[in-house]
Structure formats: C-alpha cells, structure tokens
Amino acid sequence: MIDINLIRNNKELVKENIKKKFQYEKLQLVDKVEELDISYRTLKTALDDLRSKRNKISNEIGILMREGKKEEGLSKREEVNFINQEIKNNEDKEIELQNQIKDIMMLIPNIIDDSVPIGKDDSENVEIEKFGEPFVPDYEIPYHADICEALNGLDKESAGRTSGNGFYYLMGDVARLHSAMLSYARDFMINKGFTYCIPPFMIRSDVVNGVMSFAEMDAMMYKIENEDLYLIGTSEHSMIGRFKGQLIKEEELPIALTSYSPCFRKEVGAHGIEERGLYRVHQFEKQEMIVLCKPEEAMDWYNKMWSYTVEFFRSLDIPVRTLECCSGDLADLKVKSCDVEAWSPRQQKYFEVGSCSTLGDAQARRLSIRAKGEKGNYLVSTLNNTVLATPRGLIAFLENNYQKDGSIKIPKVLQPYMGGLEVIKLNKD
C-alpha cells in the first residue's frame, strides 16, 4: 500500500505507475481516492471545529454556574448536547470514509523501481545473467517422476487415495535427499549470518491482508473452516507478520531471518496441478529468507539475497540464471523482483526455482511495522527470497545429477546430510 501523500501531491506518478503495470482499470481508483480524501479532510476539519466549539461552551457553562446563572448554563448544556450528537454523526462518517479510502488504497499497486523493465506479462521478463554452463549429456534423462519411481521414491497413486490430486508420498533415498537439501539450505543461510526460525504454519486474516494482495490471497490461500486462520503459502507471510504493530529499535536493523515451513497452495489458474509430476503441487516445503532494513539499504540487500540462492544451487552442480521480472509480472506490493531459474537438461530450458523481491514499505505500512531512529519513527523496508522450494528444487537436482546408469550423484556439500552417501543407486530388483 502506497502513502496517500503520493496521491495528494503527485497523483500523475501513481497513474503512470498503474499504466506501466497495464492495470488500466485501476486508473479510476486514484481519482476516487482523491475525492474521498478531500471529503475526509474537510470532515476532519469540521470535527476539530466542533470539538473546539464544544470545549469553549463547556468552559462558559462552568463560569455561568459559578456566577449563579443556572438557566443560561442549562441552555448552553442543550447546545453542547446538540454538538455532541453532531460530532457523533460526523465521527461515524469519518470512520466510513477512512474504511473506503483504505479498501481502495489496498488495490492500488506499489510504485515500481525505475530499473524494472516494462512488459505485459512473464513472457517479457528479461534474462540478466547465467551461472554455470547448461549441459546436455549424451544419454537420455527421464522425466523426474520416472526417476523417482525407478528409485522407489515416489508414490502419487496412494496420495491420490488419501488426499487427492496434487499430493504425493516421497519414499526412501528420494525422501532423504529431499530432507537433506532442506537441511543444507538451512545451514547455508545460518552460515550467511541469518537467524534460523520455524514459524506458525497458520496465520490470521489481518496478517494475510498485510503481506499480500487480495487477488493473490484468493488464488493461493486455504482457509480453515469456521476459524480466522489460513494455511500459509510461504513462510514469508508469518515471518513478516511476526513484527505486526511493532516499533523496532533502529540499532536492531537489519533483521535477517531464514525460515523453514511446509507451504500450502490452491494453485488456481490456467496452469493447474501437475498430474504425474511434482512441479506444481498443493503442498511443498521451503527454506526462505526475509530481511527488515532501513529503506536506503533495501537494494543492497536485494542483490545479496538473490546471489545467495545462485550460490546455493551452484554448490549443488546446478546451472542457473537470473530473470528480471517485468512490470506486468510484478505482484502489486512489489517494487522489484527477479526469478532464479534452474537448468533442465531433459527439457533443455530453464525453469523457476526461486524468487527474490523487495517490497519497499508496502507490507510495513499495512502491518504498521516501524523503526525508532534518531530523527523519528519510520516504516521499514521488507524483502523476501527463496533459498530452496522443494520438490521443485529436487527436480532440478535429480536432472542435473542423473547419471547414465540411472544413479544420482551426490555433490560433496550434500554428502554429510546423506550419511556420507556419494551415490543413490538404481534399484534393480
């Protein structure tokens, strides 16, 4: 959510930003908010005048009563009662206007960074840099579900019976590999100076509304029936929500946290749920990083954070590239975002395994997260980035470490988490 002063002082900037995001239907919202804000400020001035008038008359009543002028005093009290009723009516209107303004402001997208490329959708995202050489071996790499099944590591049929489409059982060495990658991701980030955290996996609606747009919520979140609770789609939600309504000492910034959680998503949309494989599912696990910092430090943290994900995947012998998200592909709260994509030697193309975003003060404004500095209080900047989301990260690992005999090579950094295992061998029973 942007500062309303932007609409008061530079509404054309806000409109131009909406055009850059190709959300032309939202242009009218800027004028509507401006109109409501004028009414709100006019009403607020009238209320201040009424309260001042009431205080003045109340003082007069006290004087009149002390002077024995009871009738005049009672007459003045009637006038105060009338003013009190008028104040009450106007306060109700004030609250109504405040709510209308807030509801609309929640729909107006954040101001994107000047460096964001302009484009309508993800097809116009821009490649930034490749890390590692994309490699295609001289032997066929099977579909990841077939690799897992050959290793007795995947059972989607049973999951279909217990839970339905979009769920899975991981078994044996594949399940162990899945957990090993997450454990390595945890320690990787701890070694970068991030504090490890396991957050709540359910959050209240006020936190949901604070961390994401309504459209995202409807497409992603599972609501707990008859409870004001939602299953998290990513641990960023509960991690940022942890600081809701807090005033942080400036010397405590930056706050750098890395969190583990399961994640639950409806995955509503044209892409749907993947029938056979594990690329798009209702449930997965994730190691995340979030940062709260001073506004002037946000872009430095943004660049550090995505580089950590690149370093993590390269340590697992997985080639990756970074992709700058264009204006039309940015969620409404984001200032700037990039995807980290892993190389698929089977498909001979890259696919998304993580995303890094800086959101400016949008989440902090919605959740009232401030820092106390020498020059006063201010809204912090928030950032988030995927270290590892798996099984999607597992797919990239399996394909890039698949060997001709069907076995899976385990890179040195992961071997301690696999009990020293160097290779997962094909089950030939």
Tens digit of each residue's pLDDT (9 = 90 or more) over 37-75: 999 999 999 999 999 888 888 888 888 888 888 888 788
* Domain limits, CATH 1.10.287.40, in the chain: 4-105
Evaluate if residue 270 carries a pLDDT over 60.
Answer: no
Q: Give the DSSP H or E segment for 103.
A: helix 70-105
- What CATH code is assigned to 4-105? 1.10.287.40
Q: Per-residue pLDDT averaged across 373-381, rounded?
A: 95
Average pLDDT, the chain: 93
- Gap between the Cα atoms of 389 and 260, Å rounded: 10
| Per-residue model confidence (pLDDT) at position 429 | 52
Evaluate if residue 220 carries a pLDDT over 90.
Answer: no
- Gap between the Cα atoms of 292 and 256, Å rounded: 7
Residues 94 and 46 sit within 8 Å (Cβ to Cβ): no
SS3 category, 54: helix
Residues 333 and 21 sit within 8 Å (Cβ to Cβ): no
| Per-residue model confidence (pLDDT) at position 66 | 84
- Gap between the Cα atoms of 181 and 2, Å rounded: 38
- Gap between the Cα atoms of 250 and 378, Å rounded: 10
Predicted confidence (pLDDT) per residue in 384-403, tens digit: 999 999 999 999 999 999 99
| Per-residue model confidence (pLDDT) at position 318 | 97
Alpha helix (H) ranges present in 120-264? 144-150, 156-162, 172-190, 205-211, 214-220, 235-241
Helix axes 298-314, 172-190, angle to 10 degrees: 140
Predicted confidence (pLDDT) per residue in 124-175, tens digit: 999 999 999 999 999 999 999 999 999 999 999 999 999 998 899 999 999 9
| Per-residue model confidence (pLDDT) at position 63 | 84
Query: C-alpha angle with apex 242: 239 to 244, nearest 5 degrees?
Result: 125
Percentage, residues of the chain above pLDDT 90: 82
- Gap between the Cα atoms of 121 and 108, Å rounded: 18
Q: pLDDT category, 236, cuts 50, 70, 90?
A: very high
Q: pLDDT category, 6, cuts 50, 70, 90?
A: very high
Evaluate if residue 187 carries a pLDDT over 70.
Answer: yes
Largest CA distance in the chain: 107
| Per-residue model confidence (pLDDT) at position 428 | 55
* Domain limits, CATH 3.30.930.10, in the chain: 122-424
CB neighbourhood size of 78 (10 A): 9
What values do phi and psi take at 82, rounded to 5?
-65, -45
Among left, alpha and beta (phi > 0; psi -120 to 50; other), residue 164 is: left
- Gap between the Cα atoms of 317 and 342, Å rounded: 10
| Per-residue model confidence (pLDDT) at position 73 | 78
Higher pLDDT, 272 or 340: 340
363 closest CA partner among 338, 333, 385, 335: 333
- Gap between the Cα atoms of 297 and 255, Å rounded: 12
What are the DSSP calls for 256-324, one per residue? EEEEEEEEE----SSS---SSSSSS-SEEEEEEEEEEE-GGGHHHHHHHHHHHHHHHHHTTT--EEEEE
SS3 category, 116: coil
- Gap between the Cα atoms of 9 and 7, Å rounded: 6
Q: pLDDT category, 245, cuts 50, 70, 90?
A: very high
Domain 122-424 has CATH 1.20.910.10: no
Residues 312 and 387 sit within 8 Å (Cβ to Cβ): yes
Q: pLDDT category, 246, cuts 50, 70, 90?
A: very high
Residues 247 and 370 sit within 8 Å (Cβ to Cβ): yes
198 closest CA partner among 132, 262, 259, 136: 259
| Per-residue model confidence (pLDDT) at position 274 | 66
- Gap between the Cα atoms of 271 and 281, Å rounded: 11
383 CB-contact burial (10 Å; exposed 0-12 / middle 13-18 / buried 19+): buried
- Gap between the Cα atoms of 350 and 278, Å rounded: 16
> Structure tokens of 331?
């969620």
